C-alpha cells in the first residue's frame, strides 16, 4: 500500500510539472509522457481535478503539443491558475518588494513599500505579516496563499539564518523562525541572486536540464548555479557566493573583510576606484556609473577605456574559472554593470572559449537584465517548486491550518 501511495504521488507530481512546462495536454499526451495506461491517467487526473489543481480546457493552443493521434483531439487538461498562490518578498535597501505568482508560476500581483534603510529583522517580519493579512482580506487570494519565500542580499544557510548581511548590519540572524510563526504557513529564506537566477530558469523548458550559471554584478557580485532545474545549494545552503572567489592575493578590502575577491575586481565599487580613483560615491552616482563609463568608453575617453579593459581582464579570469568548475551550458551575466557588459560581451565569449579546459565545449554566454521584481518573483518560484511538486495540497478554507510539504 505504501508503495502504491508513493507511486501515485510521484505520478501526480509528474503530471503537474508536465502541465506547468507545456501549458496543456490531452490525457493521451500525459499517458505517453508518464508511460502509464490511459486508465491510470484518468484516475490521477480525477484526483487532481477534485482538489482544484487541474481543469479541462478547450484543446488547441499548447506550448509543447506532442499528440500523435489522428482525428479529433481529446479534451485538454491544464493547471488551474487560481488554485494556489505563492508570495515572494525581496528585502532591499530601503525597500520591500512583493510578488505573488499563481499555480502556473505566472506573476499576478507586485507591489513595493519604502522602509528604513536600517530596518530590523523584527520590522521585516511585521511588514510581511501585515502584507499576508492584507492578502487574506482579498477574496481572490484568501486561504490560497500557500507559502512565503524571502530574499536577502547576503549569505543565508538552509535553516533560514542570515549568516552575514553587512549592508543592513545583520549577522547570525534567525529570520525564518519568527517569520513562520507570524504568518502561519511554510516560509524560507534565500540569497537574492540565487532566487533571481532560479526564477529565470524555472519557466524556461529549454533550461530545465543541464547547468546554467548566473553572475549578477552591482555594488556586490552574487551568483548561482542551477542544475537540472534545481538551485545548487551546497552543504549548508550558502553556495553561490561566486563574488568571493579568491582571484588575487591583494587589492581592496572586500565586503566580506578579505582581499583578492572576485567581487572587489568586477563590481561597481571596483569600477569607481578604477575610473574615479575612489569608491566613496553617493548612491545616485553608483546608479549611473556603468552607463556613464560606457558612454565615455564609446566616445574614446582614455580613462574609461583603461577602466573597462581592467574590469574585462578580471571578469574573463573569473568566468573562465566558473566555466571550468561547473561545466555549464550557459553563463548569464547581468546586473547594474549591464551597460559596460554589453560593450565587452564578445571579447569575453572569445577569451572564455580559448581559456577553458581543452576539449570541453564552450558555454554560451548571454547577457540578462534584472527587472525590478526579479528577486521577489524568483523566490516565489522557489516556493512554487518546493510545494508544487508535492501535489498534496489544494485550495484552503479560510482559517484552515497550512501544513508544510517538502520535496
Q: In the block, which residue shows the cell 575612489?
A: 278
pLDDT tens digit sequence for 323-364: 999 999 999 999 899 999 999 999 999 999 999 999 989 999
May I ask the CATH class of domain 2-79?
mainly alpha
Residue 203's pLDDT is what? Answer: 67
Residue 384: its H or E element: helix 374-388
Residue 84's pLDDT is what? Answer: 92
Residue 65's pLDDT is what? Answer: 47
CA distances from 15 to 8, 52, 151, 214 (A): 11, 14, 29, 29
Q: 3-class SS at 263?
A: helix
Which has the closest alpha carbon to 226: 247, 204, 244, 256?
204
Domains 84-197+373-388 and 207-368 share a fold: yes
Give the span between the Cα atoms of 330 and 301, in whole angstroms: 33
Residues 6+ apart with CB under 8 A from 278: 272
- C-beta of residue 266 within 8 angstroms of C-beta of residue 311: yes
Give the span between the Cα atoms of 61 and 66, in whole angstroms: 12
3-state helix, strand, coil in the chain (%, to 5): 45, 20, 35
CATH value of 207-368 in 3.40.50.300, 3.90.600.10, 3.30.300.130, 3.30.420.40: 3.30.420.40
Q: Is the dihedral of CA 332, 335, 339, 344 positive or negative?
A: negative
Residues 6+ apart with CB under 8 A from 100: 85, 86, 87, 88, 107, 108, 109, 110, 135, 141, 145, 380
For residues 27, 32, 38, 44, the Cα torsion angle rounded to the nearest 10 degrees is -70
Is beta strand 145-152 parallel, antiparallel or unpaired with respect to 187-191?
parallel
pLDDT tens digit sequence for 269-309: 999 999 999 999 998 899 999 999 999 999 999 999 999 99
Which has the closest alpha carbon to 127: 92, 103, 101?
92
User: Could you read off the pLDDT tens digit of each residue along the chain, which spans 407 residues?
Assistant: 556 677 788 788 888 888 888 888 999 889 988 888 889 889 999 999 998 999 988 765 444 444 444 444 568 999 999 999 999 999 998 999 999 999 999 999 999 999 998 999 999 999 999 999 999 999 999 999 999 999 998 889 888 899 988 888 899 999 999 999 999 999 999 998 889 888 888 866 666 668 999 998 988 888 888 888 788 887 777 777 888 899 998 888 888 888 999 999 999 999 999 999 999 999 889 999 999 999 999 999 999 999 999 999 999 999 999 999 999 999 999 989 999 999 999 999 999 999 999 998 999 999 988 788 999 999 999 999 887 654 343 333 333 333 333 22
Tell me the fold of 84-197+373-388: Nucleotidyltransferase; domain 5 (3.30.420)
56: how many CB neighbours lie within 10 A of its CB?
14
Give the span between the Cα atoms of 239 and 235, in whole angstroms: 8
Domain borders along the chain are 2-79, 84-197+373-388, 207-368
Amino acid at each position: 500500500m505504501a508503495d502504491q501511495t508513493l507511486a501515485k504521488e510521484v505520478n501526480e507530481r509528474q503530471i503537474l510539472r508536465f502541465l506547468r512546462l507545456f501549458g496543456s495536454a490531452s490525457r493521451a499526451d500525459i499517458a505517453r509522457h508518464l508511460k502509464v495506461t490511459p486508465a491510470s491517467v484518468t484516475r490521477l487526473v480525477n484526483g487532481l481535478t477534485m482538489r482544484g489543481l487541474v481543469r479541462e480546457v478547450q484543446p488547441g493552443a499548447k506550448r509543447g503539443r506532442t499528440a500523435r493521434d489522428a482525428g479529433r483531439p481529446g479534451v485538454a487538461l491544464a493547471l488551474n491558475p487560481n488554485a494556489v498562490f505563492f508570495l515572494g518578498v525581496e528585502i532591499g535597501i530601503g525597500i520591500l518588494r512583493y510578488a505573488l505568482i499563481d499555480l502556473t508560476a505566472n506573476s499576478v500581483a507586485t507591489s513595493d513599500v519604502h522602509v528604513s534603510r536600517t530596518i530590523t529583522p523584527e520590522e521585516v517580519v511585521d511588514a510581511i505579516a501585515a502584507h499576508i493579512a492584507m492578502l487574506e482580506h482579498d477574496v481572490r487570494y484568501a486561504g490560497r496563499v500557500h507559502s512565503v519565500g524571502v530574499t536577502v542580499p547576503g549569505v543565508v544557510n538552509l535553516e533560514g539564518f542570515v549568516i552575514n548581511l553587512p549592508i543592513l548590519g545583520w549577522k547570525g540572524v534567525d529570520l525564518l523562525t519568527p517569520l513562520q510563526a507570524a504568518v502561519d504557513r511554510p516560509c524560507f529564506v534565500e540569497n537574492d541572486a540565487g532566487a533571481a537566477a532560479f526564477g529565470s530558469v524555472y519557466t524556461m523548458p529549454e533550461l530545465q536540464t543541464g547547468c546554467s550559471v548566473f553572475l549578477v554584478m552591482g555594488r556586490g557580485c552574487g551568483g548561482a548555479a542551477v542544475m537540472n532545474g534545481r538551485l545548487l545549494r551546497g552543504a549548508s545552503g550558502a553556495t553561490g557566493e561566486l563574488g568571493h572567489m579568491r582571484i588575487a592575493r591583494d587589492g581592496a578590502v572586500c565586503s566580506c573583510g578579505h582581499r583578492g575577491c572576485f567581487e572587489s575586481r568586477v563590481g561597481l565599487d571596483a569600477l569607481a576606484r578604477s575610473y574615479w580613483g575612489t569608491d566613496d560615491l553617493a548612491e545616485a552616482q553608483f546608479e549611473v556609473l556603468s552607463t556613464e563609463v560606457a558612454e565615455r568608453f564609446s566616445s574614446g575617453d582614455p580613462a574609461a577605456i583603461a577602466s573597462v579593459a581592467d574590469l574585462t581582464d578580471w571578469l574573463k579570469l573569473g568566468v573562465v574559472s566558473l566555466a571550468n568548475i561547473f561545466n555549464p551550458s550557459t553563463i548569464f551575466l547581468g546586473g547594474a554593470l549591464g551597460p559596460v557588459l554589453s560593450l565587452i560581451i564578445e571579447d569575453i565569449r572569445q577569451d572564455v572559449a580559448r581559456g577553458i579546459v581543452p576539449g570541453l565545449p564552450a558555454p554560451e554566454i548571454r547577457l540578462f537584465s534584472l527587472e525590478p521584481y526579479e528577486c521577489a518573483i524568483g523566490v516565489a518560484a522557489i516556493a512554487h517548486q518546493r510545494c508544487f511538486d508535492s501535489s498534496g495540497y489544494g485550495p484552503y478554507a479560510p482559517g484552515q491550518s497550512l501544513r508544510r510539504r517538502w520535496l
